[in-house]
Amino acid sequence: MIRQRNPRTQISSPRLTKKAKQEEEEDMIANLPDELLSHILSLLPTKHAVATTVLSKKWTNLWTSASFFKLDLDDRLLLRPKSFTSMPNHASLFANFVNHVLGLINLPCVQKITFFCSDSYDSNLINSWLLVACTSNVVEVDIRIPYTQNPIQLPQTLYASRSLRVLKLNANIRLDFPPDCVCFPSLKVLWIKVYNQDGITFTQKLFHICFVLEDLFMESDILNKEREVVFTVKSNTLKRLKIECLVHSFDIEYSFVVDCPNLEHLDLCDDLLAKYKISTDLKVLDDAKICIGLPSADYGAFELYFEVKHSNRAFELLEALSNVKSLSLSGCTTGAVSYSYETLEHTDSDENEDGIALRIRLRNFMLKFPLLRCLELGFRTSESWNILTLLLHSSPNLQHLILRKELNGYSVGYKRFSYGMPKGSVPECLLCHLKEMEIWGFEGVKYDLPVVEFFLGHAEVLQKMKIYVQELSSDEEIMLSEHVLEIPKVSEACQVEIKYEY
300-325 pLDDT tens trace: 555 555 555 666 788 888 989 999 99
Please check whether the domain covering 323-342+365-501 is classified as CATH 3.80.10.
Answer: yes
Q: Which residues does 94 contact at the CB level (< 8 Å), separation at least 6?
A: 75, 78, 117, 119
Count the neighbouring beta carbons within 10 Å of the beta carbon of residue 100: 11
Three-state secondary structure call for residue 113: strand
Closest residue by Cα to residue 114 from 133, 96, 100, 95: 133
Residue 288 phi/psi, 5° resolution?
Answer: -140, 130
The packing angle between helices 331-341 and 310-320, to 10°, is 100
More confident residue, 298 or 153: 153
Q: Which residues does 37 contact at the CB level (< 8 Å), separation at least 6?
A: 29, 30, 62
Contact between 71 and 102 under an 8 Å Cβ cutoff? The reply is no
Mean residue pLDDT of the chain comes to 77
Rounded CA separation 472/447 (Å) = 12
The domain spans of the chain are 323-342+365-501
Q: What is the CA radius of gyration of the chain?
A: 31
* pLDDT tens for each residue of 431-460: 999 999 999 988 776 778 888 999 999 999
Each as own residue / partner, the long-range contacts of residues 264-267 (CB below 8 Å, 24 or more positions apart, any chain) are 264/239, 264/240, 265/239, 265/240, 265/241, 266/241, 266/242, 266/321, 267/241, 267/242, 267/243
In this predicted structure, the answer to whether residue 276 has a pLDDT above a threshold of 60 is yes
In this predicted structure, the answer to whether residue 82 has a pLDDT above a threshold of 60 is no
pLDDT at 462: 96
Quickly state the pLDDT bin for 297 (edges 50, 70, 90).
low
pLDDT at 250: 64
In this predicted structure, the answer to whether residue 4 has a pLDDT above a threshold of 90 is no
pLDDT at 489: 93
Rounded CA separation 382/403 (Å) = 13
The bridge status of strand 112-116 relative to strand 70-74 is: parallel
Rounded CA separation 205/450 (Å) = 54
More confident residue, 272 or 414: 272
Q: Which residues does 140 contact at the CB level (< 8 Å), separation at least 6?
A: 111, 112, 113, 164, 165, 166, 167, 168
Rounded CA separation 259/238 (Å) = 10
Closest residue by Cα to residue 56 from 31, 75, 74, 80: 31
* pLDDT tens for each residue of 313-358: 888 889 899 999 999 999 889 888 887 766 443 434 444 333 333 3
Query: What average pLDDT score do residues 182-195 get?
Result: 87
pLDDT at 313: 81
Q: Cα–Cα–Cα angle for 316, 321, 323, nearest 5°?
A: 150
Count the neighbouring beta carbons within 10 Å of the beta carbon of residue 108: 11
343 conformational bin, left if phi > 0, alpha if psi -120 to 50, beta if neither? beta
* pLDDT tens for each residue of 130-143: 888 887 788 999 99
pLDDT at 133: 83
Q: Which residues does 283 contact at the CB level (< 8 Å), separation at least 6?
A: 261, 262, 263, 323
Count the neighbouring beta carbons within 10 Å of the beta carbon of residue 475: 8
- Residue 437, class by beta-carbon neighbours within 10 Å (0-12 exposed, 13-18 middle, 19+ buried)? buried
The bridge status of strand 357-360 relative to strand 344-347 is: antiparallel
In this predicted structure, the answer to whether residue 95 has a pLDDT above a threshold of 80 is yes
pLDDT at 298: 61
pLDDT at 351: 42
Query: What average pLDDT score do residues 358-382 get?
Result: 73
Query: What average pLDDT score do residues 185-211 get?
Result: 79
Quickly state the pLDDT bin for 395 (edges 50, 70, 90).
very high
Rounded CA separation 3/11 (Å) = 17
- Amino acid occupying residue 24: E
Query: What average pLDDT score do residues 199-221 get?
Result: 80
Contact between 241 and 258 under an 8 Å Cβ cutoff? The reply is yes
* pLDDT tens for each residue of 43-72: 777 777 777 766 766 676 677 666 677 888
pLDDT at 115: 86
pLDDT at 76: 74
- CA 298 vs CA 294, 302, 306, 385: distances in Å: 9, 7, 12, 17
Contact between 346 and 391 under an 8 Å Cβ cutoff? The reply is no
Quickly state the pLDDT bin for 502 (edges 50, 70, 90).
low
Contact between 336 and 314 under an 8 Å Cβ cutoff? The reply is yes
H-helix or E-strand spanning residue 471: none
Percent of the residues in the chain that have a pLDDT greater than 90, as a whole number:
25
Q: Is the dihedral of CA 315, 321, 325, 330 positive or negative?
A: negative
Percent of the residues in the chain that have a pLDDT greater than 70, as a whole number:
72
- Amino acid occupying residue 496: V
